[in-house]
């Protein structure tokens, strides 16, 4: 009887031209069944995923497409593992970067599924006013040490991530491969986010429209997706590459995998770090040692020239971990303790004959490639890495470099990652910093994780590392799917600048109109108010079916309350996350 009811719902959806969203995608059900009958091992499961999406390159950051509303409107959002909030500018946001951002403001009135959260159900922030004579809304936001900030109204709408870059998807193509861009709409869910009403500072001039919160909290995007049953495992992966040029229309520069990791991206076996602390909201690791390798060995930890010297920096493990060491994908640079600076400088100078600094240098790309590679040794997950293989044969395991800790993980930061070209000056700047007071901790930013597919296994407090070209377009085309859209693909398997004298173009100040953002307006223009009423009826019907399908008869408010646990977003107004480096806001000025 239940199956007949579900089939009836499916037929009604198809008749109305709507998408039926299953409680669990079919491939997730297949994976669960295989696990129940014992057909998969723990390490094999790392290769399974729910959804793989293209990432794009901004001014020092990486962003992804987020499609919200009915019909969908595109917003581009920076991936930020250092914070929970997802937010982007909406229609009543004034002077909010429309001359700089990829897309126009999100038009709430053009989405029939949009709802502003009322003051008696605030989950992300606090009431704007207790005065009954004033309009009340739920407000939240973030302020940063360098002066940038944003404020938003708590909102709810139907959203999916990834898919086609320049075209919204309304109907699932029925595909089952994680890489299929046209399958992305199957993972849509009701997302709690911030409709930004004001932004200041460098948020105005960034390329991406907003921010996607991916920290380890129940308000993050991935956790809301998990609670909505759109991904089975509490895992996701980020794979960053770097392109020589940034195009405002989109420059593909990596991939994000939700629900696990896709080993088709991997050039080396995935190895793991484990740290049971600093995981309350963040993703922590422990630093064991730091090395410097002579230049010319390539981007991999596996040097192209085995004769190159590797020298350990004389700094203690205690000094390296005096404060927490956190992975922050939204921060361009890497920031380590100032305890490292002096011994690092000694090794660097003995190896290169010159001092290490963060000032402008004018070098050719060939000269950049000859600079040393920085190697970080991270405390490994010993038992899990033993399953991977012999530490002297598995790339990225310490092996004979540290016989006492052979199952530690080695992370290479080649000069093509830690040296960054400024379009304004034509100079390179070193973005590996050693200035942090010990107690404030350290940050591994985007340039540290670049060139790796990095798995965040939130439930087990471990991080997986596999070297990768992160070439989404190449892999999608290889598997027989159309690319995600009209974007610039990677030009080589190992992403790196090909012409250091060709600067990134500055953002134009010409106001653009983007067709992908105006789907709602086009629909209203064609058929007027009748379509609006029709879509309102359809949305009500779909919402009812969705609630009945889950056996939930509460109103939408209760669904949201279960999603967020009913708690207030107390940490958003205080500067609890203000490290001074989150999102690398102060660095974005280099592109003005």
Helices (H), 42-151: 42-45
User: Does the residue 571 lie in any domain?
Assistant: yes
Tokens of 177: 């491969």
* Bridge partners, residue 380, by sequence: 273
User: Using CA atoms, how far apart are residues 585 and 588, in angstroms rounded to an integer?
Assistant: 5
Query: Tell me, what's the pLDDT at 402?
Result: 98
User: Does the residue 552 lie in any domain?
Assistant: yes
pLDDT, tens digit, for every residue of 501-538?
333 333 333 333 333 343 333 333 334 444 444 544 44
Residue 223 CB-density burial (10 A; 0-12 exposed, 13-18 middle, 19+ buried): buried
Tokens of 416: 């093509």
Regarding whether 276 and 179 lie in a shared domain, the answer is no
pLDDT, tens digit, for every residue of 249-272?
889 999 999 999 999 999 999 999
Q: Is the dihedral of CA 131, 133, 139, 143 positive or negative?
A: negative
Helices 519-549 and 2-15: angle between axes, nearest 10 degrees? 170
User: Using CA atoms, how far apart are residues 118 and 220, in angstroms rounded to an integer?
Assistant: 20
Instruction: Domain count for the chain, please give it.
Output: 2
Regarding whether 325 and 180 lie in a shared domain, the answer is no
Query: Tell me, what's the pLDDT at 488?
Result: 41
Regarding whether 91 and 206 lie in a shared domain, the answer is yes
User: Does the residue 273 lie in any domain?
Assistant: yes
Residue 562 belongs to a domain with what CATH number? 2.40.70.10
User: Does the residue 440 lie in any domain?
Assistant: yes
Greatest extent of the chain over all pairs of C-alpha atoms, in Å: 79
Q: What are the backbone angles phi and psi of residue 428, rounded to the nearest 5°?
A: -100, 150
Query: Tell me, what's the pLDDT at 131?
Result: 66
Regarding whether 406 and 523 lie in a shared domain, the answer is no
Regarding whether 401 and 311 lie in a shared domain, the answer is yes
The conformation of residue 536, written as its DSSP 8-state character, comes to H
Parent domain of 313: 267-465
Regarding whether 291 and 202 lie in a shared domain, the answer is no
Regarding whether 389 and 275 lie in a shared domain, the answer is yes
Q: Any idea which residue has 């107690």 for tokens?
A: 439
* Bridge partners, residue 63, by sequence: 56, 78
User: Does the residue 124 lie in any domain?
Assistant: yes
Regarding whether 320 and 222 lie in a shared domain, the answer is no
Regarding whether 172 and 314 lie in a shared domain, the answer is no
Regarding whether 218 and 272 lie in a shared domain, the answer is no
**pLDDT under 50: residue ranges of the chain:** 1-45, 47, 486-533, 535-592
User: Does the residue 498 lie in any domain?
Assistant: no
User: Does the residue 495 lie in any domain?
Assistant: no
Residue 136's closest CA among 150, 158, 148, 154? 154
Q: Which residues have CB under 8 Å from 577's CB, separation 6+?
A: 82, 83, 142, 571
Query: Tell me, what's the pLDDT at 582?
Result: 38
User: Does the residue 177 lie in any domain?
Assistant: yes
């Amino acid at each position: 009887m239940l199956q007949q009811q579900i089939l009836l719902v499916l037929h009604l959806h198809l008749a109305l031209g709507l998408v039926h969203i299953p409680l669990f995608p079919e491939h997730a059900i297949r994976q669960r069944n295989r696990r129940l009958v014992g057909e998969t091992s723990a390490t094999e499961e790392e290769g399974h995923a729910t959804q793989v999406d293209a990432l794009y390159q901004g001014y020092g950051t990486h962003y992804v497409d987020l499609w919200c509303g009915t019909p969908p409107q595109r917003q581009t959002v920076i991936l930020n593992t250092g914070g929970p909030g997802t937010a982007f500018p909406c229609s009543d946001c004034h002077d909010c970067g429309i001359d700089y951002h990829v897309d126009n403001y999100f038009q709430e009135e053009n989405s029939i599924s949009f709802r502003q959260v009322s003051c008696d159900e605030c989950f992300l922030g606090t009431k704007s006013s207790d005065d009954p004579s004033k309009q009340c809304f739920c407000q939240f936001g973030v302020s940063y040490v360098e002066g940038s900030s944003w404020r938003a109204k708590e909102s709810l709408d139907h959203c999916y991530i990834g898919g086609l870059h320049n075209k919204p998807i309304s109907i699932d193509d029925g595909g089952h491969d994680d890489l299929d861009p046209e399958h992305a709409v199957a993972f849509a869910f009701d997302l709690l986010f911030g409709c930004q009403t004001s932004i200041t500072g460098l948020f105005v001039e960034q390329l991406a429209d907003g921010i996607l919160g991916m920290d380890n909290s129940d308000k993050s995007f991935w956790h809301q997706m998990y609670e909505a049953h759109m991904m089975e495992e509490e895992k996701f992966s980020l794979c960053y590459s770097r392109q020589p040029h940034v195009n405002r229309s989109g420059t593909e520069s990596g991939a994000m995998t939700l629900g696990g990791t896709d080993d088709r991206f991997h050039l080396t076996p995935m190895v793991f770090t484990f740290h049971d602390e600093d995981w309350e909201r963040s993703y922590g690791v422990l630093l064991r040692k730091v090395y410097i390798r002579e230049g010319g060995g390539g981007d991999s930890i596996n040097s192209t020239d085995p004769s190159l010297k590797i020298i350990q920096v004389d700094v203690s493990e205690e000094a390296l971990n005096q404060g927490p060491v956190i992975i922050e994908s939204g921060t361009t640079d890497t920031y380590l303790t100032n305890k490292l600076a002096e011994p690092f400088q000694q090794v660097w100078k003995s190896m290169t004959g010159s001092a290490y600094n963060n000032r402008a240098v004018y070098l050719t790309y060939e000269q950049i490639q000859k600079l040393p590679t920085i190697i970080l040794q991270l405390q490994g997950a010993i038992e899990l890495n033993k399953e991977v293989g012999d530490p002297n044969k598995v790339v990225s395991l310490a092996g004979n470099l540290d016989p006492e800790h052979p199952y530690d993980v080695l992370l290479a930061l080649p000069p093509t990652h830690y040296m960054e070209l400024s379009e304004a000056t034509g100079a390179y700047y070193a973005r590996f910093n050693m200035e942090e007071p010990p107690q404030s901790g350290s940050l591994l930013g985007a340039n540290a994780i670049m060139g790796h597919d990095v798995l965040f296994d939130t439930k087990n407090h471990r991080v997986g590392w596999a070297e990768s070209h992160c070439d989404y377009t190449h892999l999608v085309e290889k598997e027989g799917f159309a690319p995600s859209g009209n974007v610039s693909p990677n030009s080589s398997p190992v992403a790196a600048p090909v012409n250091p004298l060709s600067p990134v173009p500055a953002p134009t100040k010409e106001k653009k109109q983007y067709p992908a953002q105006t789907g709602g307006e086009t629909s209203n223009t064609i058929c007027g108010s009748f379509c609006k009423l029709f879509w309102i009826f359809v949305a009500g019907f779909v919402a009812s079916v969705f609630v009945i399908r889950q056996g939930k008869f509460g109103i939408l408010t209760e669904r949201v309350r279960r999603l967020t646990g009913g708690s207030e977003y107390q940490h958003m107004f205080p500067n609890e996350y203000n490290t001074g480096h989150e999102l690398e806001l102060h660095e974005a000025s280099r592109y003005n």
